[in-house]
Structure 1
Amino acid sequence: MPRNGADPRTRILNAARTEFATYGLAGARIDRIAKSASASKERLYAYYSDKKQLFLEVLELNLREFASDAVLTDHDVPAFAGALFDHAVQHGDHLRMIDWARLETDGTWLPALEVMLGYRDEQVRRIRLAQAAGRVDASWEPAQLMTLVFGIASAWVHEPGVVLTNSGGSDSVAIAARRANVIRAIERLIAPSAEPAIN
């Protein structure tokens, strides 16, 4: 009977997500993935021609989950930033996969790249709608603002002192304070201003 009731391909994908997030493309080992998935290497290669194909499928799966998990709705950019922060905290492996892809592939990530670009373009469109509704400072160029929102929401995931010491990684009080600071920063960022933004 399949482990946890999952079919072999699902078990392989789940095992590969952990392996690639931990070791990257170069450091990952097919034998470890197969063993963790309770599957043979032959079964794995029946689904995926090579390790890179499996890596790219995991990357695309992660990005599709991200794109459905954190979406700008009701013109509420601070709430959107909070959702981005929550995803970064709960799915740090997704951000690590993006880092590995940036470092270890040649940039031909399609269709994973198409997923991310489509997601970004849709959120930028929604920022424009929020500006038209008077909820966001209209002096911001929407694509530039989107980048800043991402950067602020993921700041603690990438800040060297936090990353190297893993400080507050499981401290619910610290996480709640960081989330509140993200929302506060975004509220200030999008508030109407007399000064034009620098694009």
Structure 2
Amino acid sequence: MTPPMPRDAEATRSRLLLAARDEFAAVGIAGARVDRIAAVASSNKAQIYHYFGSKELLFDAVFDDMVAATLDEVQIDADDLPEYAGRLHDSYLRRPWVQRLATWYRLERGEDSVIEAVARSNAGKVAAIEGAQRDGRLPTRFTATELLGLVIHTAAFWSGSTPEYGALMRDVDVERRRTVVVEAVAALVRD
């Protein structure tokens, strides 16, 4: 008789996070079902509760992982905001679930829910932009906070568009979409 395979807790946790990411991206927190997540992860509901405590805390873990990956992958460069926007756009293209999870987060968690890592990152980005404005490397027609918002939302322009607008732009290829993002941000930061 073959001895049972040793359990790999980290592998199970990773499978659950991946399955949960896809489930939450598709249907949000309220629509997600732990039995579907467990089945896709080749696990069971008890493991979800063991590792994460609840469906809501599982969503938090998925969201925290996504935020950490984005912050690690796409560092701001206040001296090249157009390219920062382009890299952020590229990140959204490679990871289409990011915008969906962010939308569900806004819808289901609301304005009062703040992720400290994101708040700290945003504060650092605003400080970097303020420094570049103070040194004359960036224009001051927008506040640093406004400029950061414009850059972030421009980067998400394609991934956050409505299906109706997407249908109008179906023939716009990936390279052109990135170019539009980069050139739009370049126009924002021109003196």
Please tell me the TM-score bracket, short chain as reference: 0.7 to 0.9
Equivalent residue of 1:7, what SS? helix
TM-score normalised by length of structure 2: 0.86
Q: 2:18 maps to which residue? A: 14
Paired with 1:119 and 1:104, the residues of 2 have a C-alpha distance of 22
Contact 2:78 2:129 survives alignment (8 Å): no
Paired with 1:166 and 1:7, the residues of 2 have a C-alpha distance of 42
Out of 89, 94, 103, the position equivalent to 2:93 is 89
Q: CA deviation at 1:165?
A: 4.0
Q: 1:57 maps to which residue? A: 61
Q: 1:186 maps to which residue? A: 185
User: Does 2:58 match 1:41?
Assistant: no
TM-score normalised by length of structure 1: 0.83
Q: CA deviation at 1:181?
A: 1.2
Q: 1:118 maps to which residue? A: 120
Equivalent residue of 1:139, what SS? coil
| Pairs aligned (count) | 187
Paired with 1:136 and 1:37, the residues of 2 have a C-alpha distance of 47
Paired with 2:18 and 2:98, the residues of 1 have a C-alpha distance of 13
Q: Deviations over 1:55-88 (max 9, x none)?
A: 1111111111111121112611111111111112
Q: CA deviation at 1:131?
A: 2.3
Q: Which runs of 5+ in 1 are unaligned?
A: 193-199
Paired with 2:188 and 2:112, the residues of 1 have a C-alpha distance of 34
Q: 1:137 maps to which residue? A: 139
Q: 1:127 maps to which residue? A: 129
Identity of aligned residues (%): 32
Q: CA deviation at 1:184?
A: 0.9
